[in-house]
Structure 1
Amino acid sequence: MLRNYEFRRYLWLQLLISAVALVVAALWLGWAAAGLVLTALIITYINFYLFTRWRYRELEELSRYLRQIASGEYSFVIRDNREGELSILKNEIFKVTVRLSEQSEYLLRDKERMSEAISDISHQLKTPLTSMGVMLDLLKQPNLPHDKQKEFLKYMQQQLERLEWLITSLLKLSKLEAGTVLFQSERVKLAELVQRALSPIEIPIEIKNIHIVLEGDTDLTLDVDKKWTIEAILNVVKNAVEHTPHGGTITLTLSRNELYTALIVADTGSGIAKEDIPHLFKRFYRGKQASESSVGIGLAMSYHILQAQKGVIEVHNGLQLGAVFTLKWYH
């Protein structure tokens, strides 16, 4: 305690006041009164010393605790349910420690997710690059027939288009997961969004002779970002097209209730494996019945787009056949 400048200054000041009090008591009241004053001062000093020593020990404990926090140790519990300034300080430091611990765990999980994402992206990019490398080696053959050259070049062009799509999709998904996308909300008709989403996949729908049925109130409106919401609907419908057999049907139902506006996408495919349902909206997850061209990005992107616009996306198997996706936008 004597190392503390404030404490030494306070002690010298108290000793000076005590000496003056003793002299005044001896001169005005006599030596007996001075003895009583001296006894009271000694008791006061002892009490003050014990109290100050206890406070310094508490402060030393807090200092040790803060050093542990600085070194990354958050397991030390310092909660104090008593009253007083030190107890309040302890509790406030404990609250800060809990927040720092949660933030540290979040950063660790984020680092792990980043590592997994880089690994997944590397794997996804490796496949088309490897294929193109093989095609280049084949094209180097001097006696390669012209029709084979055309076939290999066409295949490489397809792989390049796939690679471009994959990179674009990954960039979109990364922005969505990082929360850096600025959504521009505007009032639009849900039926119009559905029609715009169907436009890019008209050819595969026609090739598979799939019947598209639009049901419900076509005048329903939403306050959403038009471009991103079309992207979300497109990915869900595209998934339905991939899993609907030739001559099947995809039913799009528009509805609204007190809580939300919904779009239900139901197909007549084989449905979704029960063990796949909890993981279906995870990035790069491919279910047991996923097509060969699927990389597991589209549904994850739809999930994040709806989530960012106060919406949710749910999935379950139909009563008879096929999967049922429900996109909900809460009012």
Structure 2
Amino acid sequence: MLRNKEIRILLFLLIGVSVTGTFLVFIINPMAGLITFIVSFLIIYLALLFTLKRYKEIEDLSGYLRDISNGNYSMDIRDNEEGELSILKNEIYKVTLMLSKQGEYLKKDKEALADALSDISHQLKTPLTSMMVMIDLLREEKLEAEKRIEFTKNIETQLKRMEWLLTSLLKLSKIDAGTVSFKKDKVLVGELIKKALNPLLIPMEIKEQKLFIDGKENTSFIGDINWTTEAIVNILKNCIEHTKNEGIISIFYDENPLYTEIKIKDNGIGIEKEDLPYIFKRFYKGKNASDESVGIGLAMAKSIITNQNGDLSVKSKKSEGTEFSIKFYKEQK
């Protein structure tokens, strides 16, 4: 405590004033001087005792801060008493809780990154192994021309699949990192649906699937048409893949004072009940997933929509079809 220059000056001034006052009073009245000396001594003693207590509390807080810097957030120093030190303790406790939460989030992020890298490695391992085998076969001089063409096409297919996977993962990582700047334009749902359907009309025609669209012409929401198109395409792809030939794909959209809703429905094979809670999880493949599926399309759709003040949900019954519901909520003014 006495290492503090300000305390030393204060103590010097208190002693100086007390000695001077006591001396002057003692000259006038010895008894009064004695009383003044005792009172002065007690005042200085109590002041030092109070200051010492404050220093002890500050030292405890310093030790607590050192524990925090070492990653120990378990101590509870909340103080319900009045005073500036109590306020400081409570503020430090709030910061401690915040740091603890951030530590938990960082740990979860690291675990998620490790899982994602593991999943990516698994997804790339299969096509790479397949391509290596086919390349070895292509080296054989006696290989038939038809087989050579077949293997070459297979390699091309696997390369395109890997390109799509890596591109999708890059987009997802950008969204997760918050580096994607979603536009806030007025998007007409009719135009959005038309744009999303454009690359999917041929696959639907090959499977002779019927398409029904119903919605008001002026239905709109505030968002990014390009990113939302990506989300709608992934949802529609899922419906097309899981709907048999001559099946039906239906799209309904409407708007109310709270949100704009888009419903995409099929009459396909449906989703197993136990798969429903995980259908939007990255790399999750349900029981009815095709061999070509990598389980990333719906995860991307969910991420794109939720980052635009929206929500994506699903209802499904086995053999009765699936319905995806997209809601873009209106911002309150």
**AA of the residue aligned to 1:47:** L
Is the contact made by 2:207 and 2:246 (CA closer than 8 Å) also made in structure 1? yes
1:25-50 Cα distance to aligned partner (Å, 9 max, x none): 112x2211110101101221221222
**AA of the residue aligned to 1:83:** E
- Give the corresponding residue for 1:185: 184
Is the contact made by 2:268 and 2:319 (CA closer than 8 Å) also made in structure 1? no
Residues 124-163 of structure 1 mapped to structure 2, 5 A cutoff: 124-163=123-162
Please give the alpha-carbon distance, in whole angstroms, between the structure 1 residues aligned to 2:319 and 2:208: 21
Secondary structure of residue in 1 paired with 2:175: helix
- Give the corresponding residue for 1:305: 304
Is the contact made by 1:185 and 1:224 (CA closer than 8 Å) also made in structure 2? yes
- Give the corresponding residue for 1:13: 13
Q: How high is the TM-score relative to the length of structure 2? A: 0.95
Please give the alpha-carbon distance, in whole angstroms, between the structure 2 residues aligned to 1:319 and 1:107: 39
Is the contact made by 2:269 and 2:318 (CA closer than 8 Å) also made in structure 1? no
1:209-261 Cα distance to aligned partner (Å, 9 max, x none): 11111122233223221111111111111100111111111111111122111
- Give the corresponding residue for 2:321: 322
**AA of the residue aligned to 1:120:** D
Residues 112-261 of structure 1 mapped to structure 2, 5 A cutoff: 112-261=111-260
**AA of the residue aligned to 1:97:** T
Secondary structure of residue in 2 paired with 1:132: helix
Please give the alpha-carbon distance, in whole angstroms, between the structure 2 residues aligned to 1:188 and 1:42: 81
Q: CA deviation at 1:320?
A: 7.8
Q: How high is the TM-score relative to the length of structure 1? A: 0.96
Secondary structure of residue in 1 paired with 2:223: strand
Instruction: Tell me whether 153-162 or 2-11 shows the greater mean CA deviation.
Output: 2-11
- Give the corresponding residue for 2:2: 2
**AA of the residue aligned to 1:23:** F
1:2-59 Cα distance to aligned partner (Å, 9 max, x none): 23332222212211111111111112x2211110101101221221222122111111
- Give the corresponding residue for 1:109: 108
- Give the corresponding residue for 1:56: 55
Instruction: Tell me whether 45-54 or 294-303 shows the greater mean CA deviation.
Output: 45-54
Unpaired runs of 5+ residues, structure 1, are none
Is the contact made by 2:272 and 2:287 (CA closer than 8 Å) also made in structure 1? yes
Is the contact made by 2:187 and 2:221 (CA closer than 8 Å) also made in structure 1? yes
Please give the alpha-carbon distance, in whole angstroms, between the structure 1 residues aligned to 2:218 and 2:93: 54
Unpaired runs of 5+ residues, structure 2, are none
Secondary structure of residue in 2 paired with 1:315: strand
Secondary structure of residue in 2 paired with 1:296: coil
Q: How many residues were matched structurally?
A: 330
Is the contact made by 2:19 and 2:37 (CA closer than 8 Å) also made in structure 1? no
Secondary structure of residue in 1 paired with 2:45: helix
Please give the alpha-carbon distance, in whole angstroms, between the structure 2 residues aligned to 1:253 and 1:166: 30
User: % of aligned pairs identical?
Assistant: 48
Is the contact made by 2:273 and 2:317 (CA closer than 8 Å) also made in structure 1? no
Is the contact made by 1:261 and 1:328 (CA closer than 8 Å) also made in structure 2? yes
**AA of the residue aligned to 1:13:** L
Q: CA deviation at 1:327?
A: 0.8
**AA of the residue aligned to 1:137:** D
Q: CA deviation at 1:263?
A: 0.9
Using a 3 Å threshold, how does the CA distance of structure 1 residues 319 and 281 change in structure 2: closer, same or farther? closer
Is 1:271 aligned to 2:270, yes or no?
Answer: yes
Please give the alpha-carbon distance, in whole angstroms, between the structure 2 residues aligned to 1:51 and 1:189: 71
Please give the alpha-carbon distance, in whole angstroms, between the structure 2 residues aligned to 1:241 and 1:286: 16
Using a 3 Å threshold, how does the CA distance of structure 1 residues 96 and 298 change in structure 2: closer, same or farther? same
Please give the alpha-carbon distance, in whole angstroms, between the structure 2 residues aligned to 1:182 and 1:248: 37
Please give the alpha-carbon distance, in whole angstroms, between the structure 1 residues aligned to 2:208 and 2:259: 33
- Give the corresponding residue for 2:69: 70
Secondary structure of residue in 2 paired with 1:266: strand
Is the contact made by 2:14 and 2:44 (CA closer than 8 Å) also made in structure 1? no
